[in-house]
Structure 1
Amino acid sequence: MSGKPKLHYFNGRGRMEPIRWLLAAAGVEFDECFIEKKEDLTKLQNDGSLLFQQVPMVEIDGMKLVQTRAIMNYIATKYNLCGKDLKERALIDMYVEGLFDLNELLMKYEFLPPDQKVPHFPNMMDKAENRYFPVFEKVLKDHGKDFLVGNQLSRADVQLLEVILMAEEYKPDILAKFSLLQSFKARMSAIPNIKKFLQPGSQRKPLADKNAVAKVMKIFY
């Protein structure tokens, strides 16, 4: 083990936030190296640190990993957050892929031009309430356990909590129809490592404001 993981990204959520969540849930301390200007990104690209010339990038165990899913697969496997057997892993992967789709809708909203936000918002909320959250409510009902898969915390639980909290930022009562998801949210939020990550002053990032969005656009476009 070569020290704490180092996360290379801008100082905001984006595609690094699920990685921060997973590390925090696993109880892993990490450092962050923020990309503050376009020159910072160019330096990483030019020195060969970014395999596909893009971030997020995580330095961990002597590797420079890119691609969000690859990074999260490694962390989940390393810290036993991907199930106890192949069948459990398949279910976890399936749930996580659905959550990535919803996360993409939520994450994208802040970076859309004002005229595109208007049609995107109701579509985003409709899919959360009527496509994705009903699935996870049913999974919890059918499984009958505290967790989505098996009887221990997995990356699917962590990512579902993250997405629930994001959706609630846009619509605070979005879980009104989902009693099992409400209980799930309370249980997951009380897990010590996650509770710590939810406290003020943690490395969890806030919803982006206009200034943060403008800064990111200058770096990447």
Structure 2
Amino acid sequence: MSGKVVLYYFDGRGKMESIRWLLAVAGVEFEEVFLTTRAQYEKLVNDGALLFHQVPMVEMDGMKLVQSKAIMNYIAGKYNLYGKDPKERVMIDMYAEAARDIMDMISMVLFTSPDNKKDELEKVQVKAKVRTLPAFEKALGASQFLVGNQLSCADVNFFEASLMLEEVFPTILSSFPNIQAFQKRMKAIPAISKFLQPGSQRKPLPDDALRKTAKEPTSLTLT
């Protein structure tokens, strides 16, 4: 098992998707175990695989890793996606956290009741256009990367977030040319181009069946 990377989560995006993205960009092949019942989750807990009784969980390098941010930082550090010094790393964290905030907001709205969804999505769109995207647009006007002179997990996280924003708000990037150019550069990276192809391990936006499944085995256990 030590040479195999295995992901434990439900068959959807959630907190695992950004981990999938980082592994794909790093060129790391991985297998997935999809949790479809509460019993599967409870078995992981009873076997001692989940340190804090939470998923996602990644088996990697002989470890059972939990807490999504810790997992992503480990992958980024191991595969040279985490800057060259503490100053770059803190900037990477700042941009990465902002990207994940937007993705988390969208995910939460997609799992909310239909009655509130339209209003909540509008709030996400306003925040993205007024607060988040202008900061990324400015950063990408000064450099082809968000931090330093090489690709980092912040670039990967924001690229994922920008695609997710376009899925929900198709024209949201129309007034952000630097971000559009950034997307074009990212799509030209072979590992990313491969991950964007149909049949990859990238997951689609959640549908009703996935919402039901996600609530069953992992209720209150996502990190």
TM range (shorter): over 0.9
Q: Does 1:29 align with 2:36?
A: no
Tell me the distance in 2 between the aligned counterparts of 1:39 and 1:157: 37
Mapping 1:19-58, distance limit 5 Å: 19-58=19-58
Equivalent positions of 1:47-196 (< 5 A) are 47-141=47-141, 144-196=142-194
Q: CA deviation at 1:115?
A: 2.4
Q: How big is the alpha-carbon RMSD for the aligned residues of Structure 1 and Structure 2?
A: 1.2
Partner amino acid, structure 1, of 2:123: N
Q: Residues 55 and 218 of structure 2 are in contact (CA less than 8 Å); yes or no, is this contact kept in structure 1? A: no
Q: How far off its partner does 1:145 sit?
A: 2.1
- The Cα shift of 1:79 comes to 0.2
Q: Letter of the aligned partner of 1:112 in structure 2?
A: T
**Cα deviations across residues 64-114 of structure 1 (Å, max 9, x unaligned)?**
010000000100000000011221111101111111211110111221112
Deviation at 1:54, TM superposition (A): 0.9
Aligned length: 219
* CA distance in 2: counterparts of 1:151 and 1:171, whole angstroms: 30
Query: Under a length normalisation based on structure 1, what TM-score does the superposition of the two structures give?
Result: 0.96
SS of 1:33's equivalent? strand
State the Cα deviation string for residues 30-68 of structure 1 (Å, max 9, x = none): 111110111111111111111111100001111101000
AA aligned to 1:140 is: L
State the shift of 1:220 in Å. Answer: 3.0
> Any unmatched runs of 5+ in structure 1?
none
Q: Which amino acid aligns with 1:135?
A: A
Aligned amino acid, residue 157 of structure 1 = D
Deviation at 1:140, TM superposition (A): 1.2
| Structure 2 match to 1:8 | 8
Query: Which amino acid counterpart does residue 50 of structure 1 have in structure 2?
Result: L
Large movers: runs of 4+ above 4 Å: none
SS of the counterpart of 1:8? strand
**Secondary structure in 2 matching 1:58:** strand
Question: Which TM-score applies when normalising by structure 2?
Answer: 0.95
For the residue of structure 1 that corresponds to 2:2, the secondary structure is coil
Identity of aligned residues (%): 56
User: 3-state SS of the aligned residue for 1:65?
Assistant: strand
